[in-house]
């Protein structure tokens, strides 16, 4: 047995401290969601029920899908400022063409995903800043939405209404849908070999290129996935609201970015978390209307509340990152 010199104590391993910091960092999204839930339970205990969660998380599904769409772009060190208006465009197509002329509606939605793929190719080939390109595309999607539906109206297809009105036993549908979205995207992006390549395009593009992988293809795939989940978000939103408006998704751009960052994502380095992004979306959905309503705070403070939550989480993440280093 090795004797310990008097007056000395064994020091904690630096690796152990870094591991604890990383674990705490990964638990931050769940911790923020837990704090919001505890606040809601304290203010209104009756809200913590099957009906309460169904009502509070009514819009959580489209927000989660839009957040996942933004996450794919951020995974490639890019940013999409058009996802909100794109969701509105999809909503207008869903409430008009997809209901009245399904073939034209399906073609328009598939074509919009193809446009997103072309945007990714253009950004890579011409080395253009994604912020500028997607900001320009936001006006394009907004204009197309107004052309399709100049004033609020339309109606969601009956099959879409039936899907979003599904009420499973025991677990509210929004929670079940969030779990399914998180599980599918986590497996595809974090557990498959091609998911590693997609994340590698943002983490170490030079090494990926030396390994023989096409950065152009990965960029196209990431933007196409963004378009796909943007389409799903717009359809889910119309399935919940039952009608459309050209401006219905404008707020989703900032919500999606905040959800990704709140869920542990980084703007650089390809560091994203599908599970964390969905948790971040649920946190924003709960912290917006339900929590503010129970606190008797006017709805005008919704954006401020989301910003405050984001700042607090980011400040905690900075402290943890310093500990990790």
Listed as ranges, residues in the chain with pLDDT below 70 are 1-22, 299-300, 302-303, 306, 321, 323-325
Kindly calculate the radius of gyration of the chain based on its CA atoms and give it in whole angstroms: 22
Selection from 57, 71, 36 nearest residue 260 by Cα: 71
CA-to-CA distance for 40 and 293, rounded, in angstroms?
10
What's the mean pLDDT when you consider all of the chain?
88
The pLDDT value recorded for residue 9 is: 47
Give the separation between CA 122 and CA 134, rounded to whole angstroms.
11
Count Cβ atoms within 10 A of the Cβ of residue 175 and give its class: 0-12 exposed, 13-18 middle, 19 or more buried: middle
Rounded CA-CA distance 279/179 in Å is 9
d(Cα 309, Cα 287) in Å, to the nearest integer? Answer: 8
| Opening angle at CA 173, ends 184 and 165, nearest 5 | 120
CA distance 48 to 127: 49
Tens-digit pLDDT profile for residues 191-212: 999 999 999 998 888 888 888 8
Return the half-sphere exposure (C-beta side, CA atoms, 13 A cut-off) of residue 315.
6
* C-alpha–C-alpha distance, residues 321 and 24, integer Å: 10
- Predicted pLDDT at 18: 62
At 308 the pLDDT is 77
C-alpha 246/C-alpha 106 separation (Å) is 19
Q: Fill in the DSSP letter of residue 244.
A: B
Give the span between the Cα atoms of 155 and 161, in whole angstroms.
10
**Which residues face 244 on adjacent strands?**
153
What is the pTM (predicted TM-score) of this model?
0.90
What's the confidence (pLDDT) of residue 206?
86
């Amino acid at each position: 047995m090795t004797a310990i010199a008097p007056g000395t104590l064994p020091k904690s391993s630096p690796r152990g401290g870094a591991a604890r910091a990383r674990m705490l960092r990964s638990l931050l999204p769940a911790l923020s969601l837990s704090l919001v839930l505890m606040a809601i339970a304290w203010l209104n205990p009756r809200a913590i029920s099957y009906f309460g969660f169904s009502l509070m998380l009514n819009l959580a599904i489209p927000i989660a899908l839009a957040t996942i769409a933004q996450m794919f772009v951020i995974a490639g060190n890019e940013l999409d400022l058009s996802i909100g208006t794109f969701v509105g465009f999809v909503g207008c197509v869903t409430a008009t063409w997809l209901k009245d002329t399904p073939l034209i509606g399906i073609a328009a939605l598939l074509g919009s995903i193809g446009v997103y793929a072309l945007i990714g190719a253009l950004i890579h080939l011409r080395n253009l800043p994604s912020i500028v390109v997607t900001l320009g595309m936001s006006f394009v999607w907004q204009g197309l939405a107004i052309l399709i539906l100049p004033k609020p109206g339309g109606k969601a297809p009956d099959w879409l209404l039936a899907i979003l009105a599904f009420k499973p036993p025991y677990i509210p549908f929004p929670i079940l849908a969030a779990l399914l979205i998180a599980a599918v995207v986590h497996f595809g992006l974090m557990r498959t070999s091609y998911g590693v390549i997609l994340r590698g395009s943002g983490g170490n593009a030079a090494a990926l290129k030396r390994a023989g992988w096409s950065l152009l293809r990965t960029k196209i795939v990431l933007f196409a996935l963004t378009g796909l989940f943007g389409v799903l978000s717009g359809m889910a939103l119309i399935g919940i609201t039952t009608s459309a408006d050209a401006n219905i998704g404008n707020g989703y751009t900032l919500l999606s970015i905040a959800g990704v960052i709140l869920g542990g994502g980084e703007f650089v380095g390809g560091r994203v978390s599908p599970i964390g992004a969905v948790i971040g979306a649920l946190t924003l959905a709960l912290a917006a209307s339900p929590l503010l309503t129970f606190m008797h705070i006017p709805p005008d403070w919704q954006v401020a509340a989301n910003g405050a939550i984001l700042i607090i989480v980011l400040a905690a993440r900075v402290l943890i990152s310093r500990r990790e280093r």
